[in-house]
Amino acid sequence: MKVHVVGCSHHNASVQVREKLAFNPDQARDALRLLRHRFPGSEAVLLSTCNRVELYLASEEDKRCPTHHDIAAFLAEYHGLNPLEVFEELFERTGQDAIRHLFTVAASLDSMVVGEAQIHAQVKQAYELARAGNSAGSLLHTAFQAAIRVARRVANETAIQQKRVSIPSVAVGEFAKGFFERFDDKQVLVIGAGEMGEETVRYLRDEAATDIAIVNRSRERAEALAERIGGRAEPWERLEELLVQADIVVSTTGASEPIVTWDSFRASHQARAQRPLFILDLAIPRDFDPRLAEYPEVYLYSIDDLRGVCEANQKARQREWPLAEKIIDEETERYMRELNHRATGPTIRRLKELADNVKQDELARLLNKIQPIEPRIAEEIRQAFDRAFNKLLHPPLESLRSEANDGTPHGLLDALKRLFRLE
């Protein structure tokens, strides 16, 4: 039985790497389907956010679970990259370390903005996507259900998520407010109609921004967001014109390549007549060509530019970390005990079946020899057989359960299988 995670995050990979490995929902669905066919004995959940790309994998049989190299090769093949280049950017956690990592991620302790609420929903969505595609089986089902429970405990039992701070709140509260003194006279352009775009707009609304235009490839989604937040939906075809008018741009699309390139922005830049433009590119992959920051009037910030503020946020929450980590340690130990007990389950069932078959055969043989016999005495004999066999089985099974509390009891499992010739 094996559980492990292979992936990268803002801790070990730059935004340039993460955007190359990122998956939109359709790609994630397709990738899980391909993994299921390539590794039919393995379960998989793919978590892809702006700050991480992680594949959680599990299998009842270790040899059927894809390795670190297998996943590196798969990711490289899917995204058309060099496998050697990808391998160097990926970390691996196995067994208890993998479970602890999942719990830490779900509880937002591994986020760039510690305590942010969005990752909890993203973990649930990744799990639901895998379940819908039959990629998550019983092993990852219990792991992700436990992760959701851990996230709730950390939120309810610590103050780490009080006054929740998210990437959009940091982007507006620390970066945009450091650039503009007021927002009521600014034209805001939002590109993309997803959750992060909506959250960012709500923070801008709190700062008195009123002139908000929204563009999205799906006009219906742009109109729905505009209705919720009080902006106006504009046709995607007006993007270049709207870039000329805007003071602030917030971009959060799921596009697989930049939607505003160096060449496509040239005309907009000339028409702006050197007016400053503040751009928050919160998409992964990035929506704006990073070279646009070379224009003196363009102030372009990506996810990684928020890192310093997020680290300060993390330091402010350090006092809550010991309690949160204690919860994660407790839940990790609890899950591993359950997992190790599960590993012993087939052997215990097979041993009980073997003992019951022997008991029934011998009981039937004895009762046939001593017929006729009173029903009351026959029942006492059956109970005596049951007690004798239960007493014989109790010590080895109790030892197996006890050892499972400290780890997978490979030694005892192998011994029992050999001693009793269990298949």
Q: What is the pLDDT of residues 339-375, one digit of tens each?
A: 777 766 677 778 778 878 888 888 888 888 888 888 8
Give me the residues paired with residue 59 across strands: 2
pTM, entire model:
0.67
Q: Which of 8, 50, 65, 310 is catalytic?
A: 50
Give the C-alpha distances (Å, rounded to integers) separating 398 from 186, 394, 402, 405, 412.
71, 6, 6, 11, 11
| SS3 track for 68-121 | HHHHHHHHHHHHCCCHHHHHCCCEEEECHHHHHHHHHHHCCCCCCCCCCCHHHH
CA 277 – CA 273 distance, rounded (Å) = 11
SS3 6: strand
CA 105 – CA 248 distance, rounded (Å) = 31
- Residue 172's pLDDT is 87
Average pLDDT value for residue range 121-127: 93
- Residue 338's pLDDT is 80
Give the C-alpha distances (Å, rounded to integers) separating 128 from 7, 21, 42, 197, 387.
19, 21, 17, 23, 46
In DSSP notation, 394-417 reads HHHHHHHHHHHTTS--HHHHHHHH
- Residue 343's pLDDT is 65
> In the predicted model, is pLDDT for residue 197 greater than 90?
no
> Sorting pLDDT into bands at 50, 70 and 90, what band is 279?
very high
Packing angle of the helix pair 321-369, 375-404 (nearest 10 deg): 150
Q: What is the pLDDT of residues 221-261, one digit of tens each?
A: 999 999 988 899 999 999 999 999 999 999 999 888 899 99
- Residue 339's pLDDT is 78
The identity of residue 96, as a single letter, is: Q
CA 47 – CA 21 distance, rounded (Å) = 11
b/e per residue 304-336 (b: at least 16 CB within 10 A): bebeebbeebbeebeebeeebbebbeebbeebb
CA 127 – CA 387 distance, rounded (Å) = 45
Give me the residues paired with residue 187 across strands: 211
State yes or no: is 50 an active-site residue: yes
Q: What are phi and psi of 307, to 5 degrees?
A: -55, -45
Q: Angle 59-62-63 (CA atoms, 0-180°, nearest 5)?
A: 110
Maximum alpha-carbon separation in the chain: 110
- Write the DSSP symbol of residue 256: S
CA 398 – CA 403 distance, rounded (Å) = 9
Ranking 4-8, 20-24, 85-89, 128-132 by mean pLDDT, the lowest is 85-89
Average pLDDT value for residue range 404-414: 64
Give me the residues paired with residue 213 across strands: 189, 232
Average pLDDT value for residue range 307-319: 72
For 409, half-sphere exposure in the C-beta direction (CA atoms, 13 angstrom radius) is: 26
- In this structure, are residues 313 and 170 in contact, taking their beta carbons and an 8 Å threshold? yes
- Write the DSSP symbol of residue 254: -
- Residue 76's pLDDT is 94
Ranking 52-61, 99-108, 338-347, 373-382 by mean pLDDT, the lowest is 338-347
> In the predicted model, is pLDDT for residue 112 greater than 90?
no
- Mean pLDDT, the chain, integer: 87
CA 99 – CA 334 distance, rounded (Å) = 11
Q: What percent of the chain has pLDDT over 90?
A: 48
CA 230 – CA 40 distance, rounded (Å) = 48
Q: Which helix (H) or strand (E) holds 300?
A: strand 298-302
- In this structure, are residues 242 and 234 in contact, taking their beta carbons and an 8 Å threshold? yes
Q: What is the pLDDT of residues 6-21, one digit of tens each?
A: 999 999 998 888 989 9
> In the predicted model, is pLDDT for residue 300 greater than 70?
yes
- Write the DSSP symbol of residue 279: E
